């Protein structure tokens, strides 16, 4: 799999995904033309894609954390994407920079000096994380009509696009974090509700899984980083003029406005 | 359409329920069936059960999800009556053979200790008249084949009610914002769906106020002691024999039920 031919293909597919994102245009899935690609190949494309930005890594995001999505993607485990500094927004989303963005609520965990020499267990996360915050993630698949397989989406950095963190970082442990009510409004209408249990039962389970996988893959994380633990509700499409407000019971709220 | 049509529909629903054999939608035969006529059918259907020994112990509110109202093209919820014969104790077992095509959803149940008899009932009246809330599982069911219901069909069919299970922890509404309490439904120990209180008509308290006013318009008063299932908080799950379903709700606690053949 590390033959020169495959290395060339990895670089070419990463370049195509990078160009699609920079030029704000959707492309066909890569699997139909490359049916032999494995999930490992997909992560190699993701690493090459992330490197093309030449921007600092600020964290990770968990993907495919709901059973429904795993079944739809024919996988049994979640995956991860890599967050870069330019993806962080503060209250405003510029629609013209994105293809077909969708917003989903998540719990963000913050880490500092995470041990990388051993496997992490989910029951350690409350101690290892320095805190948590409510978050909105903006996903924006580079693929036409948001249609993809697991290999496609891992290569495409798991549709990572933008993210916004709540103002306050809260301490852990937080009682019944998995049952905090999450209420997502679009232009004043409640469009989604859920609870953090939607991500593999608990955000800590998702966190431990994704951290172990990324560390095993040799992903270089900064000393301090953020982890988005996975979408709590279905992702909501947004257009210019939309205002998303999300309340997290006992945790806080976030608003995001979509401009041209 | 006359009174005999309504009586006939009530008879057919009663028979479908006894025989566990679903029937065609009422509106397939009578497309003009109004909401008012459908509630009259519901009352006729329930009177047959009451004649045979059942007692009304509360109400249930349906169509509290905006997505479901949009799908049925209606702009307000509906209601049905809870009978003592529908109640199952927490952790109990329901035989699927007693139902037709059940689905399970998690809800908040209000228990009243004052009548809601104000000329117009507000959220403040509901808060003042609620002794406490408990977590609940509602097992909805439809006497209409394949759940092919319109608004009038489900109203006539007692708002598609089946059975219900109440949790054993009481919580008062003091300083509690039900909208922001999260919930999770586990199906055989695996997480199935999550939601929050706001999924029910924006606020379960508002849902109960809507019910009280709707009943007033029909000349009925919600009475102290009634239990009120305020509406589903997430998508339903479909049980099979041998399954168990649990709802866990922040602050309110949990409630579970098993299913046998």
Q: Count how many domains chain A has.
A: 1
Q: Which of B135, B180, B193, B197 to mutate to test the interface with A (most CBs of A within 10 A)?
A: B180
- Residue A2's pLDDT is what? 59
Nearest to A195 among B66, B179, B184 (CB): B184
Q: Give the total number of structural domains in chain B.
A: 1
CA geometry: angle B126, B130, B134, nearest 5 deg: 120
Nearest to B198 among A67, A190, A232 (CB): A190
- ipTM entry: 0.94
Q: Give every CB contact of residue A234 below 8 A, 6+ residues apart in sequence.
A: A104, A192
Test B180 with A250 for CB contact under 8 angstroms.
Answer: yes
Per-residue pLDDT of chain B (261 residues; tens, 9 = 90+): 678 889 999 999 999 999 999 999 999 999 999 999 999 999 999 999 999 999 999 999 999 998 899 989 998 999 999 999 999 999 999 999 999 999 999 999 999 999 999 999 999 999 999 999 999 999 999 999 999 999 999 999 999 999 999 999 999 999 999 999 999 999 999 999 999 999 999 999 999 999 999 999 999 999 999 999 999 999 999 999 999 999 999 999 999 999 999
Radius of gyration of chain B (CA): 17
What are the distances in angstroms from CA A129 to CA A56, A177, A202, A203, A224? 21, 14, 14, 12, 10
Spatial separation of the C-alpha atoms in residues A12 and A19, rounded to whole Å: 10
Contact: B196, A189; criterion CB under 8 Å? no
- Does residue B193 sit in helix, strand or coil? strand
Structural domain harbouring A96: 4-259
Q: Do B197 and A181 touch (CB under 8 A)?
A: yes
Chain A CB contacts of B181 below 8 Å:
179, 181, 249
**Burial readout B35-72 (b: 16 or more C-beta within 10 A, e: otherwise):** eebbbbbbbbbbebbeeeebeebbbbbbbbbeeebeee
Among A189, A194, A200, select the one facing B196 at the smallest CB separation.
A194
pLDDT at res. A148: 94
**What 3-state DSSP class applies to A94?**
strand
pLDDT for the residue numbered A154: 97
Integer Cα distance of A148 and B146 in angstroms:
32
Of A176, A193, A201, the CB nearest to B191: A201
Q: How many CB atoms lie within 10 A of CB B34?
A: 13
What is the nearest CA distance from A176 to chain B, expressed in angstroms? 7
Q: What is the pLDDT of residue A64?
A: 94
B contacts of A176 (beta carbons < 8 Å) = 250-251
Q: Take residue B78 and report the two structure tokens written for it.
A: 């509906």
Q: Is A197 on the interface with B (CB under 8 A)?
A: yes
Please tell me which residue of chain A has the smallest CA distance to B196. Answer: A181
Closest residue in B to A253 (Cα) is: B180
Which residues form the domain of B176? Answer: 3-260
Which regions of chain A are under pLDDT 70?
A: 1-2
Residue B223, Cβ neighbours under 10 Å: how many?
14
**Bridge partners for B227 per DSSP:** B58, B111
- The domain that holds A152 is classified in CATH as 3.90.850.10
B180/A232 touch (CB, cutoff 8 Å), yes or no = no
- Across the interface, whether the CB atoms of B234 and A198 are under 8 A apart is answered no
pTM for this entry: 0.95
Neighbours of B12 (CB within 10 A): 18
Contacts of residue B49, defined as CB under 8 A and 6 or more positions apart, other chains included, come to B14, B83, B85
CA A125, CA A173: separation in Å to the nearest integer? 9
Mutate one of A106, A195, A245, A251 to test the B interface: name it (highest B CB count within 10 A). A195
A243 and B CB contact within 8 Å:
no
The chain B residues in contact with chain A (CB within 8 A) are: 66, 177, 179-184, 190-191, 194-199, 202, 233-234, 248-251
Question: For A99-111, how does the pLDDT look when each residue is reduced to its tens digit (9 = 90+)?
Answer: 999 999 999 999 9
pLDDT, tens only, A156-214: 999 999 999 999 899 999 999 999 999 999 999 999 999 999 999 999 999 999 999 99
Residues 108-147 of A with CB under 8 A from B: none
Residues 6+ apart with CB under 8 A from A12: none
Phi-psi region of B38 (alpha: psi -120 to 50; beta: other; left: phi over 0): alpha
Q: How far is CA A232 from CA A183, B10, B120, in A?
A: 10, 43, 37
DSSP state of B222: B
Residue A109: Cβ within 10 Å count:
29
The CATH number linked to B211 is 3.90.850.10
**Chain A partners of B191 at a C-beta cutoff of 8 Å?**
67, 197-198, 200-201
Task: Please report the pLDDT score of residue B1 as a whole number.
Answer: 66
Tally of CB atoms within 10 A around B5: 15
């Amino acid at each position: 799999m590390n033959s020169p031919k495959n290395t060339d293909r990895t670089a070419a597919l990463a370049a195509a995904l990078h160009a699609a994102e920079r030029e704000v245009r959707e492309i066909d899935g890569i699997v139909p033309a490359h049916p032999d690609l494995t999930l490992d190949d997909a992560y190699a494309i993701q690493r090459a894609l992330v490197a093309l930005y030449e921007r600092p890594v600020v964290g990770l995001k968990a993907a495919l954390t709901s059973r429904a999505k795993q079944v739809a993607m024919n996988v049994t485990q979640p995956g991860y994407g890599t967050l870069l500094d330019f993806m962080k927004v503060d209250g405003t989303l510029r629609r013209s920079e994105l293809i077909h963005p969708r917003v989903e609520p998540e719990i963000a965990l913050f880490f500092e000096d995470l041990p990388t020499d051993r496997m992490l267990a989910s029951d350690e996360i409350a101690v290892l994380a320095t805190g948590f915050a409510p978050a909105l993630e903006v996903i924006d698949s580079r693929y036409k009509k948001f249609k993809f397989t697991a290999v496609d989406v891992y290569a495409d950095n798991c549709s990572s696009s933008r993210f916004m963190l709540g103002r306050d970082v809260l301490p852990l442990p937080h009682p019944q974090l998995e049952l905090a009510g999450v209420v997502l409004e679009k232009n004043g209408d409640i469009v989604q509700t859920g609870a953090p249990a939607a991500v593999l039962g608990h955000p800590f389970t998702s966190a431990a899984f994704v951290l172990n996988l990324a560390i095993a893959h040799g992903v270089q994380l900064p000393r301090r980083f953020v982890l988005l633990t996975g979408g709590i509700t279905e992702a909501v499409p947004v257009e210019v003029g939309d205002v998303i407000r999300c309340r997290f019971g006992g945790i806080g709220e976030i608003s995001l406005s979509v401009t041209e | 359409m006359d009174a005999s049509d309504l009586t006939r529909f009530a008879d057919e629903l009663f028979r479908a329920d006894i025989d566990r054999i679903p029937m065609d939608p009422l509106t397939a035969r009578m497309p003009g069936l109004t909401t008012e006529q459908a509630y009259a059918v519901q009352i006729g259907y329930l009177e047959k059960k009451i004649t045979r020994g059942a007692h009304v112990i509360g109400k249930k509110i349906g169509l509290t999800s905006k997505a479901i109202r949009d799908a049925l093209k209606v702009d307000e919820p509906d209601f049905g009556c809870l009978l003592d014969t529908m109640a199952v104790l927490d952790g109990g077992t329901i035989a699927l053979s007693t139902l037709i095509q059940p689905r399970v959803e998690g809800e908040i149940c209000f228990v009243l200790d004052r009548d809601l008899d104000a000329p117009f009932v507000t959220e403040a009246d509901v808060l003042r008249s609620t002794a406490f809330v408990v977590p609940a599982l509602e097992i909805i069911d439809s006497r209409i084949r394949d759940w092919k219901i319109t608004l009038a069909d489900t109203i006539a069919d007692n708002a598609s009610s089946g059975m219900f299970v109440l949790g054993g922890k009481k919580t008062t509404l003091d300083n509690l914002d039900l909208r922001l309490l999260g919930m999770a439904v586990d199906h055989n120990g695996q997480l199935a769906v999550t939601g929050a209180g706001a999924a029910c008509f924006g606020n379960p308290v508002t849902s109960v106020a809507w019910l009280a006013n709707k009943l007033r318009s029909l000349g009925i008063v919600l009475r102290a002691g009634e239990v009120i299932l305020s509406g589903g908080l997430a998508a339903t799950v479909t049980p099979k024999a041998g399954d168990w379903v649990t709802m866990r709700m922040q602050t309110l606690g949990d409630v579970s039920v098993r299913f046998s053949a």
